[in-house]
Amino acid sequence: MTRNNSRSKLSIFALGGLDEIGKNMYVVRYGDDIVVIDAGLMFPEEEMLGIDVVIPDITYLVENREKVRGILLTHGHEDHIGGLPYILRELNVPVYGTKLTMGLVEHKLREAHLLNQTKRILVNNRSEIKLGSMKATFFKTNHSIPDSVGVCLETPEGNVVHTGDFKFDMTPVNGQAADMHKMAEIGKKGVVCLLSDSTNAERAGFTGSERNVGEALEEVFRKSKQRVIVATFASNIHRIQQVVDATALYNRKLAVIGRSMVNVVNIGMELGYLRVPPDLLIDPDEINRMPAHKVAVMSTGSQGEPMSALTRMAHGSHRKIEILPGDTVILAATPIPGNEKLVARTVDQLFRVGANVVYSTNSQHGVHVSGHGSQEDLKLMLNLMKPKFFIPIHGEHRMLRAHSQLAESVGIRPENIFISDNGDVVEFSGGKARYGSKVATGNVLIDGLGVGDVGNIVLRDRKLLSQDGILVVVVTLSKNNGKILSGPDIISRGFVYVRESEKLLEEANRIVTQTMEKCANERVSEWATLKTSIRDALSRFLYDRTRRRPMILPIIMEV
């Protein structure tokens, strides 16, 4: 999108969050003013070998940094705030969020040494924020973390509403109901475009109340004769509160395990979002010194992550605690798409060591409900907002498609619904909307301390190494006449076991020698050509013999 045709037009697009779960980042631009909503991360897909996290490509924002008025945060989940420590290094703009959201963000920024140089502004459902030619107001929503809000951006072209992640919970754990009255008021004034959460668009009915989970947890605690271990998302403060309440009700003590869980519990208590009775919490070192029926443990690991606290407990490799026969383990979360195998493996191991495992598919107890609205919740939001145009967001393509069908069912015209990909710009002008030019988007891969230094080529190499291994060929040549002085020496890693493949490697050695002699006879002395010749000849030979294609790395030295 060029600068000229964006002037005096309203433009909306995503840098992340469409056709995927996570990495949420949405951009609203009017003229020379840009507002960003959320800055999340995504956990790597299976083929992203060695990658820690994935964040959106913010090249567009960096190129227009003088126009970016701020980043508005809808709530404190990783897929909405996790990218901030990386993004703020490139784009130092004000960040707006509610009290708990900002508490979680400040912890991240402190670890990244960015706290003092980042302007942070607290907002609530009564705040009005001037952002150039736009004004932001907020409305309370229900989600699996407190202090979640939706955003209404007042623009010269009309109101743009971003729901954030939401459901309608009529009996919320913290007593904070969604502000349906304010949503209806916004709808009455007129909404030019609604961006709404699509995660559960395929699920019929309303999403259940979080309060039901509290009752289910209490029932499991009541029946348990030994220790109770509850694994859940660290950021699900409502669930953490229910575990605290059940622990207190049945006169147990609670140990909190897992770095992220400990951090969130401390922040929640400090800011007043967690009510924990005095003396309820114990140090993990005390677990084994207390009677089993007097102990409860809350940990990370509900997604079966290999290095999480629960997985290490199940395999007996945790420093403080291991699962014993008769312990009750509650997985108070459902697997994120893609994590099903990891969760199944962990559940299997828990059963193997003798635990009683309560999880979503084997239990009559409702130990988890989603934080995202199902079809009836989504229809209710559409009816409250009554938007002229609609962009389903936050979901894979089938979810966006299902949400668009729900929008049609409540009366939104099909031509006014935009099912977009990341980077697709929807332009609004004079009451009309159309697709504009596409903005460059993509994934930035974080590996250790490296941000974006691992790309497709490196991932391709890692995949090749993981599949067929590597052969290193070392040859030393004479500087005077180019003849082989030593070698070729062939080192194999992940390709074949050397002691059982001596004949194959001897033949490979001979192939390299013949290739080098042929190049010498043809007076080929450029190292790049020599390496390519070795690689090609050896690759053909090995494929013929093994039907495998290891990575071949020739190293030529001259003395």
- State yes or no: 178 annotated in a binding site: no
- State yes or no: 309 annotated in a binding site: no
- State yes or no: 80 annotated in a binding site: yes
- State yes or no: 315 annotated in a binding site: no
- Class of residue 66 by CB neighbours under 10 A (exposed 0-12, middle 13-18, buried 19+): exposed
Q: What is the DSSP string of 271-308?
A: HTS----TT-EE-GGGGGGS-GGGEEEEES-TT--TTS
- State yes or no: 181 annotated in a binding site: no
Strands 426-429 and 328-331, by their bridges, are: unpaired
How far apart are the C-alpha atoms of 106 and 482, rounded to whole Å? Answer: 62
- State yes or no: 360 annotated in a binding site: no
Q: Which residues contact 378 (CB under 8 A, 6 or more apart)?
A: 196, 197, 198, 200, 201, 403, 406
Is cis: bond before 414, omega within 30 of 0?
A: no
Between the alpha carbon of residue 65 and those of residues 93, 387, 528, the distances in Å are: 8, 30, 42
What SS3 class is residue 94?
Answer: coil
- State yes or no: 371 annotated in a binding site: yes
What SS3 class is residue 537?
Answer: helix
Between the alpha carbon of residue 450 and those of residues 106, 172, 307, 442, 446, the distances in Å are: 22, 41, 21, 17, 6
- State yes or no: 447 annotated in a binding site: yes
Number of neighbours of residue 506 by Cβ within 10 angstroms: 11
Pick from 71, 130, 331: nearest CA to 220: 331
Amino acid identity for residue 487 in this structure: G
Pick from 149, 208, 194, 210: nearest CA to 406: 194
**Residue numbers annotated as active site:** 197, 372
- State yes or no: 403 annotated in a binding site: no
Specify the length of the chain in residues. 559
- State yes or no: 451 annotated in a binding site: no
- State yes or no: 165 annotated in a binding site: yes
How far apart are the C-alpha atoms of 424 and 297, rounded to whole Å? Answer: 46
- State yes or no: 50 annotated in a binding site: yes
The annotation places the binding site for Ca(2+) at 50, 52, 447
The annotation places the binding site for Zn(2+) at 75, 77, 79-80, 143, 165, 394
The annotation places the binding site for substrate at 234-236, 368-372
The annotation places the binding site at 50, 52, 75, 77, 79-80, 143, 165, 234-236, 368-372, 394, 447
